[in-house]
Amino acid sequence: MNQKKYFNISERKILLRVIDTIVIITSLYFSFEILNFSYFNFYSNSLLVWAFLLISYYLIFGEIFQLFNLNISNNRYLVLRSIVVTAFATTIFYVFTPFLSPILPNNRLQIVYLFLILAIPIVVWRFLYIQLIFSPKYFKTIIFIGKSDKIKGMLEKIQKDNFHNLRAYFSDKEIDNVKGFRNVETEKLSEFFTDNSINEIIVSKDGLSDEVLESLNKELIFLFQKGFNIASYESFYEEINLRVPKEYLELNFYKHINFSKNNTNRFYLFGLRVTDVFIALIGLIAFLVVFPIILIGNIFANRGPLFYSQDRVGQNGKIFKIYKLRSMVTNAENNGAVWAQKNDTRITTFGKFLRHTRLDEVPQFYNILKGDMGIIGPRPERPEFVNDLENKIPFYSIRNIVRPGLTGWAQVNYPYANTIKEQEIKLRYDLYYIKERSAFLDFKILIKTITTILFYRGQ
């Protein structure tokens, strides 16, 4: 069966990177040949090194400034902003990278030309992408099957994100503001048997009667034979939300949650430790540079001790002391330990700045050097909270199987959690990290952390 062709989410992200790279190299070549742009000489023996460095900078800064974020790539204003900032940062870092980039030109206007060559052609291509490729014509078309209370949240997210075409959903009742309802008990999938525009069928069997399931299975087997892709609700949920679904936290959790092979890969763990130590040393040196400014800010807007320590739960439940810059009033916990709240009145004026910029976390580089923490991993919680959370959230203690981190997958994807429900959601992000742990995911977390700081999203 010839199904409708589409670009899935990962393909679209790859497409943006690949075409951006081609556009940049092509623009540089024609600028050199036609416009006499001499800074980037295509006849030089160092061409490959120059090109590799330039594209590397562009891709890294593109990640930091969210140029490949699909939610931004479909918005003309946001993508224009990201392109300008990315091109500017790439240009500045490139021209001031000694030995690996071309020698600074005598005509400094060449640097401005490089920025324009990076920015203008990408703007044109990205606007064409929004107009032509970011179109429902190239989206995956899906059908959902499941109880309304089960699939409602996912259908609402699909409509909000606008990355998939929802052709129909078979459920027990209609969901408000979601089009395409079919009654799962009385209507059949038959009407879609010959519809080649459908790419995937998502099935949630929870709550459906045995009679309905038996009937559905016969039709799904037939559709599978016809070439339709059929996926479980849980696997689709994990793909879209990048966290494990709640359904995985059951008695048979081992069927769905397994440790990444990298958790025992000595080469990966050694590389991670070397990276931890290197970044921690750089972080502490940078901290010493800005320390006088922080000290002055603390004296005038955060009166009291600059540093404080707390007990935290580390790998395998080991208790260690974490070090931070104080962001709350000195008597913040006279009545016992409580979670910080949004707009918490205990946070001082200077403390808000420290939290938003994540400067309050910088002393933890010392914990990283000691080996209590890593750069990346689940955030270590206080023993008082952990005891309560382990009693209320199944499998909460699983997150302690890996070394805690200064930043983590849950931190860059979810805001500060101060309720049991929110902590449960963050746990599912941590379990996703443990399940998918890899050097690429670690790099992604680092980039998203930098983005969080630059866009002032700290809590």
Least confident piece of the model among 60-74, 125-139, 231-245, 271-285: 125-139
Q: Are residues 356 and 235 both part of a single domain? A: no
Residue 374's pLDDT is 95
Judge whether 361 and 312 are in contact, CB under 8 Å. no
- Is there a single domain that holds both residue 424 and residue 281? yes
pLDDT band at 196 (very low <50, low <70, confident <90, very high): low
Q: 6 versus 50: which is more confidently predicted?
A: 50
pTM of the model: 0.83
Q: Same domain for 65 and 213?
A: no
Residue 421 included in any domain? yes
pLDDT at 195 over 80: no
Per-residue pLDDT, 80: 93
303 with 417, same domain: the answer is yes
pLDDT for the residue 342? 67
What band does 194 get if pLDDT is binned at 50, 70 and 90?
low
Establish if 327 belongs to a structural domain: yes
The pLDDT confidence band at residue 2, using thresholds 50, 70 and 90, is low
Question: What's the pLDDT band for 277 if we cut at 50, 70, 90?
Answer: very high
Range name among 104-108, 132-136, 171-175 with the lowest pLDDT average? 132-136
Model pLDDT for residues 205-263, shown as the tens digit of each residue: 888 888 888 888 888 888 888 778 889 999 899 988 899 988 888 777 777 778 888 88
Structural domain including 120 reads 9-133
373 pLDDT exceeds 80?
A: yes
- Show Cβ contacts of residue 275 under 8 Å, excluding neighbours closer than 6 positions: 375
- Out of 104, 133, 162, pick the residue that ends a domain: 133
Between CA 77 and CA 305, with CA 453 as vertex, the angle to 5 degrees is 150
Average pLDDT over residues 257-281: 90
Assign 136 a pLDDT band (cuts: 50, 70, 90). Answer: low
Q: 3-state SS string over the chain?
A: CCCCCCCCHHHHHHHHHHHHHHHHHHHHHHHHHHCCCCCCCCCCCCHHHHHHHHHHHHHHHHHHCCCCCHHHHCCHHHHHHHHHHHHHHHHHHHHCCCCCCCCCCCCCHHHHHHHHHHHHHHHHHHHHHHHHHCCHHHCEEEEEECCHHHHHHHHHHHHHHCCEEEEEEEECCCCCCCCCEEECCCCCHHHHCCCCCCCEEEECCCCCCHHHHHHHHHHHHHHHHCCCEEEEHHHHHHHHHCCCCHHHCCCCHHHCCCCCHHHHCHHHHHHHHHHHHHHHHHHHHHHHHHHHHHHHHHHHHCCCCCEEEEEEECHHHCEEEEEEECCECCCCCCCCCCCCCCCCCCECHHHHHHHHCCHHHCCHHHHHHHCCCEEECCCCCCHHHHHHHHHHCCCHHHHHHCCCEEECHHHHHCCCCCCHHHHHHHHHHHHHHHHHCCHHHHHHHHHHHHHHHHCCCCC
Residue with tokens 């808000």: 352
In a domain, 92, yes or no: yes
pLDDT at 332: 65
CA dist 385 and 219 (Å) reads: 48
Residue 25 counted as domain residue: yes
If asked whether residues 148 and 129 sit together in one domain, one would say: no
Least confident of 10-14, 177-181, 388-392, 422-426: 10-14
Q: Domain check: are 114 and 154 in the same one?
A: no
pLDDT of residue 321: 94
Do 104 and 149 have their domain in common?
A: no
- 193 pLDDT band (50/70/90 cuts)? low
Residues 329, 184: one domain?
Answer: no
Higher pLDDT, 126 or 456: 126
| Confidence band of 36 (pLDDT split at 50, 70, 90) | confident
Q: Would you say residue 250 lies in a domain? A: no
The reply to whether 251 falls in a domain is no
Asked whether residue 165 is domain-assigned, the answer is: yes
Residues 267 and 400 in one domain: yes
pLDDT at 388: 86
153 and 215, same domain (yes or no)? yes
Residue 271 has pLDDT above 60, yes or no: yes
Instruction: Give the CATH number of the domain where residue 208 resides.
Output: 3.40.50
Residue 459 belongs to some domain of the structure: no
The pLDDT value recorded for residue 92 is: 93
Mean pLDDT of the chain: 87
The domain boundary residue, chosen from 76, 99, 133: 133
**pLDDT of 133 over the 80 cut:** no
How much is the average pLDDT of 386-399? 86
Task: Say yes or no: 114 and 50 in one domain.
Answer: yes
Sign of the dihedral through C-alpha 37, 43, 44, 50: positive
Domain count across the chain: 3
Is the pLDDT assigned to residue 314 strictly greater than 90? yes
Residue at which a domain ends, from 116, 133, 150: 133
Euclidean distance between CA atoms 188 and 117, whole angstroms: 55
Q: 407-429 pLDDT, tens per residue? A: 999 998 887 777 888 889 999 99
Whether residue 364 sits in one domain with residue 231: no
pLDDT of 308 over the 90 cut: no
Judged by phi (left if over 0) then psi (alpha if -120 to 50, else beta), residue 388 lies in alpha
